[in-house]
Every structure is written in structure tokens, then in C-alpha cells.
Structure 1
């Protein structure tokens, strides 16, 4: 028995007729929804990476079908002419006899017009489908973290790709989530310390969920002392003086009694954690009373506040004071 080549769904003559007919139906470049011969074009939208299904029906079991992409033949019947492994034909029975084109892992290059030709009694009919491919937004470049001195200007950028072209918006990640104008660039003039923090760039289109990236803006400013307190002043009792200051970069602290700078020594300790410094003395003596000054220093400046530590005859044990309160604190003119 001689095994021959499987019979194709089209004879050479009919296939030539299909190609000839197709050349009349398909202009060289036709956008979605329009054709040169006023034939309606359906639009199928798919997202990059998904599977697209372009539906076509033979209507009865006697008709033959073919798929073409622009001027290239992809299928005639179940005979595949396309070398693309992602492409296949979905066939089904029933009243309509499905003959749909399936494209897996859709790429932007797949976008365009496809034609399904149905031939019955040498009378071909064609239907046109335009495949539109959308691409989710992707931020591919964004400003690095930025450090600026208070009062300076900041320019941030965010670049994104996608189809349709994504819109870009900005927001300051705070409890108020302040939003800024849309656009690839965000410019902030005369920045204040309240505008420091994390900023989010958001790119969005209708292909998928937005894509976001964030960056941090650090605003440097000189120190300011906002609280100075003390506890315990009786002789032989322990005394604690606490000083809190704000500033970026985080300030370093110095302590003075009068004009003498204090350091760790027997009976005296200084502990600093971030924005707070504590001076402790385990055994108060008469010579330790006097005016104590806390100085906060960073690269942009320094601030100082003073507090008098008095014997029990003139101060109550456990008194507390704040900068600008009843126990006066002032800037040292010599700092």
C-alpha cells in the first residue's frame, strides 16, 4: 500500500482563487475599524503575554477556511503554513463549525489585521479582525534618592513604557498622601522640611494595574532644641538633665556647666540616642550646681539652650522646664 501526502483542504486552483480574492479584500495597511472596501473590521484586544483568540465560523460542514495575516497565508483548512509555533487553529463542530485563530504569548509585533476566508462552492467570503495589543505600564527609570538643603530646589523624574502610553502621576507618601501634577518630571521649589520623605511615581494605562516606584527625598536643616528638662537637685541625690533637638542630619550633642565642656567622668555620664541626650550625675555636690547648657550641632549650624540647676533652697526637687518656659532657655551669644 502506498501512503500518499494527506489531501489539503484546498486544491491548488481553489487556493489560487482564495489568494486572488484575498488580494481584493485586504489593503496593505488598514487601521482598526476601517477598510479600503468599507468592509467592517472587528477589533480584538489582547494584553502582551496573554492568548488571543480571533473567532471565525464556517457555518456548515462543507465550507473550507483559511487564515491570512496581511499578505501571508497562515492556515488553509487544518494545514499550517505559518512557522510560528505560537499560532494554531481552534476547530469545533456544532451548528457554526468554529474555525478560530489562536495566538499564544501575544507580542506587539502580532498587532495588525487578520482575515478569515470561508469558501463554499467557489464563492469565498472574508471577515476581517484587527488584533490590538496592549502592554502593561512599566517604570524603567526613576530618580535616585535625593538629599537637599532646606530652601533648595528639587527635580525628580520618572520614565515609563506601555501601550497605550501610560500617564504618570506623583504623590508624597504622608498621612495626607498629597498628590502632585501629572508628568514625567516633578519640580519642587524652595523645599521645606515638611516636604521631606518618600515620593511615589505611579504609571498607569488601561492594560493592567498601575506600576509604582518610590524614592526618598531628604531635606537637611539646622538644629533646633525643642525641650530641655531636669529632675533631682538635692545634695547627694542623682540628677538628670534631658535635652531634645531636631535637625537633619541628626545633630551631635555637647554639654557645658558654665563655660566648661563636660565629658564622661566619675559620677558623670552622657548618653545620646538619636535626637535625645541625657546628662546624669549620680551624686550631687555643691560644686555641681550652676548653669547647664545643651548644644546641638550638625553641618548646617548649631543651637543651644541653658537651664539653671539650683540648690534645694532656691529650687524644688523634681522641677521641670521647657525651652521658652518659666525656666528660661536661651541661645548662647558666644556659640
Structure 2
């Protein structure tokens, strides 16, 4: 017999998320122990097909995944995720089997991000313009859910005025500089993408459908312990585009494959990819 439940959990980025898995106890056990305590537990991430927890043992190398167990009025088998990130978002499944009954719960984790304003992509705090000359002020904000941007004008008389004209939304496009890139072993290669759209909530890179973790910095200065580095150019507000470059260092045979730029907007999630394949040295034979 299988009992199936669904739930939605929301957590703020960098906080701790608790995904509940709580099969109800059965009373009247002759041993004083409920049968549900003697079953087998499995936590799984459906979106990546990764197994996280089996009974009291963690299967995943990420130490942020922790099993919280206690016994009171019900068995608590919650999955705790410390320092939750946007890449943790997705579907998680809890399975608990006693041999006679199977408890299954599907949990959707949504990660919220407090609104921020990108100072490097916005206008400076002080702008000097000539009278009767048009000017454009930029404010690039991001958050999950998408924040609402409101402009106010505060003249010298101190009376605040609301300005609510925001540029029209534009569905995104992702243009890859190359569809395929050939590179030798142990070399560094670069995968470039140009993203156009408004608004662009967020974007990141994937390798073979798995998120890539790497610093966002000046990638021209190599860091010896980093496999990846992501370089992001300043947002062009007029053309509504941003350029991003993924650096992959010291290529091994496991690094060849499909690299994907993923863009999240109110219109949905969009992807475009470049294949990095192995190139071999060419030798010239002299007779």
C-alpha cells in the first residue's frame, strides 16, 4: 500500500531549508516501538536523479544535506539543506518503506532571493546633464520573485513625485559565439554567450545539465584551484544585452561535452549550448 503526498517549501537564499518527511506513527505496537521506525528511508533529488540520504547515511558528497530525525508524536525524517542556493531549487522525493506500506512525498523547493540593485549596471548616484537635453537613468534590480522597480523624483522643493514608466519587457535570446569548439587536453578554453532581453532575472552555466560552480571575477588572472571562472561584462541597457564568458581550465577527458548558458526571466527558462570536443595534435611525418 502506498501513501502519496505533495508539498511546496520556500526558503530564502543562504538560509536553512527544511523539507518535511513525517510518516504518521501507528499506535498499539506490542514492542512499544512503532513499525514506521523500523523501515527504510531514502531521500532523492528528482531533477538530477541524485540519491542524497539512505537511512542515517548521507550518499551525496555535499555536506549541506543533513537528515534530521527525532521521535515524538510522529517520526520526523526531514531533509535539512544548509546555506540553500538557487541551484538547489527543484523537486525532492522522500520514500519510506516498512515492507507493508510505502510512504512517498514529493516536495518542490523554491528558493527566494531578496531584491538587490546592481550598482555596476545602474546609473551613478550623481548625474550632471544640460537643461532640455534627454538623458537615460538606469536601475538594474534582481530578485526572486521578480522585484517591482519604482522611480521617484525628489526636486529641490522636497516634494516627492512617482515616476512609473518602465521599459517594455523583451523575451530573451541567447547567442553562442561558437556552436562547437575543439581544444587539446590540458589547455584552457572559453565559451561565450550574448544574452539579450528585459528583464533578465538571472543566468548561469551548466555542464551536461548540471550547474557549474565557479568564481565570478577577473578570469584573466588564473586561480590554480578553480576549474571554472565566469566573466560577466557590464549590462548594456540601451541594447538590453549582457555578455558572459565561461573559462574552463586544464581540460581533462571528463571536461569535453555540452556547456549551456541558462537564462531565467518572467517569460520562462531559456537555454543555448556550445559543444567542447577533444582536438588532437597533428604530426607531420618526414620521409
Structure with higher Rg: it is 1
- Higher-RCO chain (CA-CA 8 Å, sequence separation at least 6): 2
TM-score, normalising length: structure 1: 0.42
TM-score, normalising length: structure 2: 0.48
